[in-house]
Amino acid sequence: MSVQPVVSPAEDKAMARAIELAARGLGTTSPNPVVGCVLLDAHGIVVGEGFHAYAGGPHAEIVALAQAGERAKGGTAVVTLEPCNHTGRTGPCSEALIHAGVARVVIAVTDPTPRATGGAERLRASGMDVVLGVRASEAEDGNIAWLTSVRRERPYVIWKSASTLDGRAAAADGSSMWITSEASRIDVHRLRGTVDAIMVGVGTILGDDPRLTTRDLRTGSLAIRQPLRVVVDSQGRTPVDARVRDAAAPTLVATVATFGKGPDGRVDLRAVLAELHHRGVRSVLLEGGPKLAGSFLAAGLVDRMIYYVAPKLLGDGPAALVGAGVTTITDAIDLDVLDVDRIGPDLRLTAKLRSPTKEA
């Protein structure tokens, strides 16, 4: 049994708040992590809060220290990720905490990057009291895309799909518009705003000609920040006038000619993910279609699934998933269901793969 770190009720409450703050940076901090920080004075009163809002901007600790001023001296910094110990586009947060006279630092998750790690050691060496592992699982889940990307050197992949209750992604005549409700479609655009890239196969481009942008469905206005659009297109069939090629957002068309062939003779998915990681993409929303999703699942490259189920029945029509490499029930891909929510009339199921991935 692991020993739980000892913290005060005020520190525990502050970490819960820091995790909430960190989430505000989802979608805007890559290639950096999301981080939240709460500063308590010597009496346990909150005197500063901050989160990392965008890459190159001040880190969460710096924002919180600026709010706290002299009140940080002798106090406690509660932070979701180990304070950095290197100079990049900003200075090391460990030195800023030492300079401010903070007496204690409570950390949820240690930093796995070789260049930034060492903050906890530096703080201890300065005489500061350092506690690790407070609400670690919650903080890790909130920063899971960045942590996975750093550990595996490829983006965190979320497969988003939608179907009727009987698993149909479209009707027998091919029509697929509005399977789910407007509430679910709004929710998907919110989800798009939290990732660095949106990926589909060429079949989705040829069949639906989507824009793959993040926008307000009520007004049609585009969000200020747009994820990279990625089309997996083995033979380069994406039309020059496809909407995905417009100027609304950057687009990468991944072909065999540029990324080589994978084991299935189509685009090498691992090579595509490696290039995205090199570009600073830490999270990918895999939206379509069923064959591409099957290839990702068969390769063990899906980390999380978000599935919208509409209360409709079709009886016939294309399945939501094809070619996942399962031929018998004993090989079924098991899921751990993390959450089930009602979105308008639909259900949204969030799950992670239970079975070990092929890259483990």
CA-to-CA dists, residue 42 to 16, 74, 77, 108, 249, angstroms: 19, 5, 11, 20, 48
Residue 234 marked ligand-binding: yes
318 among the known binding-site residues? Answer: no
Q: Is 141 annotated as a binding residue?
A: no
212 marked as binding residue: yes
208 annotated binding-site participant: yes
Token pair belonging to 250? 């950057």
Phi-psi region of 11 (alpha: psi -120 to 50; beta: other; left: phi over 0): alpha
Sign for the CA dihedral angle at 57, 59, 62, 66 comes to: positive
61 is catalytic: yes
Annotated catalytic residue within 11, 20, 49, 61: 61
* Residue 293 assigned to a binding site: yes
Residue 295 annotated as binding? Answer: yes
Q: Is 137 part of any known ligand binding site?
A: no
Known binding residue 243? Answer is no
Q: How far from 244 is each of 25, 201, 231, 241, 330, CA to CA, in Å?
A: 26, 12, 9, 8, 39
Taking CA atoms, 13 is separated from 9, 21, 39, 79, in Å, by: 6, 13, 12, 12
Chain position carrying tokens 């005060």: 8
Distance, C-alpha 94 to centroid of its chain: 26
- 204 labelled binding-site residue: yes
26 is in an annotated binding site: no
Other Cβ atoms less than 10 A from the Cβ of 12: the count is: 15
Residue 231 near residue 252 (C-beta atoms within 8 A): yes
215 annotated among ligand-binding-site residues = yes
Report d(CA 358, CA 27) in Å as an integer: 27
Ligand-binding site membership of 95 (annotated): no
Q: What number of residues does the chain have? A: 360
Q: For residue 69, what are its two tokens?
A: 């001023």
**Is 93 among the annotated ligand-binding positions?**
yes
- Cite the annotated binding site for NADP(+) by residue number: 162, 178, 204, 208, 234, 289-295
- Cite the annotated binding site for Zn(2+) by residue number: 59, 84, 93
- Cite the annotated binding site by residue number: 59, 84, 93, 162, 176, 178, 192, 204, 208, 212, 215, 234, 287, 289-295
- Cite the annotated binding site for substrate by residue number: 176, 192, 212, 215, 287
Annotated catalytic sites, by residue?
61
